[in-house]
Structure 1
């Protein structure tokens, strides 16, 4: 056995036992235990970690710990460019796509509303989420920290907020999504692209009063639903305008 001293910073403390939060503490480690193994043994999913310093030097997850090592573990830095120091991942994801677990159906719809390809099925088992994340290079969104500890999941977020609108703000802020949002391009139900149709094509597919008042329509080729810029669209537009300005709070209405 070897003994190392750990210090976790900022929101990573939320995953630790209370007596270990926001302070340095010593921990016994198996000989040749890696940084990743010990970080997760202490309760912190590796997907939440952005930087590991061992004795002041940046290391990767597979770095073996030695007796007397001092380990500092950091989440994403909001205002400091640490790219020259990073050792924990080979490369960032070029295009952000998500897969959400069974607890995050409302968030999945709101991310689709913002234009982000987001897979969701409340029957997805954890192994299928892990497989989708690996095969399609998706970020896993979950409120289950154990899911984020699975070996092949490289990018993920533990969602702390409970309500979908607050969850949307949390993910937008943590992943800096505002500049990448492309609202109203995906079907909220199917996650498939929406495309415009001629007004005449919509005549038999929408209520008569809607057809008389509206001039622009879009449809989803999967579910065949037709959408227009009514009062619900205006509420969704307000939500998207608000979240892309990174406003701190909003109360929203959702459509079934």
Structure 2
């Protein structure tokens, strides 16, 4: 066995027992234990970690710990560009795509409302979520930390909040989603892109009281549902506008 000293920063402390939060603590590690193995053994999913320093040097998850090592573990940096230091993942995701587990249906709907490609099916089991995420390079969203510890999950977020609107706000803050919000661009039901539809064609499919109250309509590319800027749309727009207004460092 070897002994290493660990210190976790910011929200990563939420995964630790109270006596280990916001302080250094020693831990016995098996010989040949990697940083990834020990971080997760201590309760923190590897997907929540953005930077690992061992004895002051940035390392990857495969770094084998030695006796006396000092390990500092950091979450995503909101205000500093540390891209030159990052070694825990091979590459960032070029496009933000999500897959939400069975307990986050409300969040999935709100993300689609904001225009983000978000897969959700309450029949998906953990293995299906992991395989789809790996195949399609999606960020796994869950409140199950064990799911995020799966080896194939390279990008994921543990969602701390419990209510969908608060969960959306949390993700917007963590991932800086506000600049990428595109309201009324994706179907709330099947996640497919929306496209403009001829006004007259839309009116033929809707009750007169709706069809002749609006002049712009969108249609889902997949299921064919129609969308228009009614009361529901205005409520959604108010929520998204509030999120954009609360963006950190927004001018």
Same structural fold, with TM-score higher than 0.5 when normalized by the shorter chain? yes
Map of 2:215 onto structure 1: 215
Map of 2:205 onto structure 1: 205
- When the two chains are superposed, the root-mean-square deviation of aligned CA atoms in Å is 1.1
Map of 2:126 onto structure 1: 126
Q: Is the 8 A contact 2:176 2:247 kept in 1?
A: no
Q: Is the 8 A contact 1:172 1:246 kept in 2?
A: no
CA distance in structure 2 between the aligned counterparts of 1:3 and 1:110, rounded to whole angstroms: 45
CA distance in structure 2 between the aligned counterparts of 1:105 and 1:70, rounded to whole angstroms: 40
Map of 2:64 onto structure 1: 64
Matches within 5 A, 1:90-105: 90-105=90-105
CA distance in structure 2 between the aligned counterparts of 1:106 and 1:122, rounded to whole angstroms: 11
1:157 and 2:157 matched: yes
CA distance in structure 1 between the aligned counterparts of 2:135 and 2:176, rounded to whole angstroms: 24
Q: Deviations over 1:214-254 (max 9, x none)?
A: 11111113222211111111111111111122269xxxxxx
1:135 and 2:135 matched: yes
Question: Mean Cα displacement is larger for which, 80-89 or 93-102?
Answer: 80-89
Matches within 5 A, 1:104-253: 104-246=104-246
CA distance in structure 2 between the aligned counterparts of 1:184 and 1:200, rounded to whole angstroms: 20
CA distance in structure 2 between the aligned counterparts of 1:183 and 1:203, rounded to whole angstroms: 22
Which ranges in structure 1 are unaligned for 5 or more consecutive residues?
249-256
Q: Secondary structure at the match of 2:7?
A: strand
CA distance in structure 1 between the aligned counterparts of 2:210 and 2:44, rounded to whole angstroms: 51
Q: Is the 8 A contact 1:47 1:156 kept in 2?
A: yes
Which ranges in structure 2 are unaligned for 5 or more consecutive residues?
none
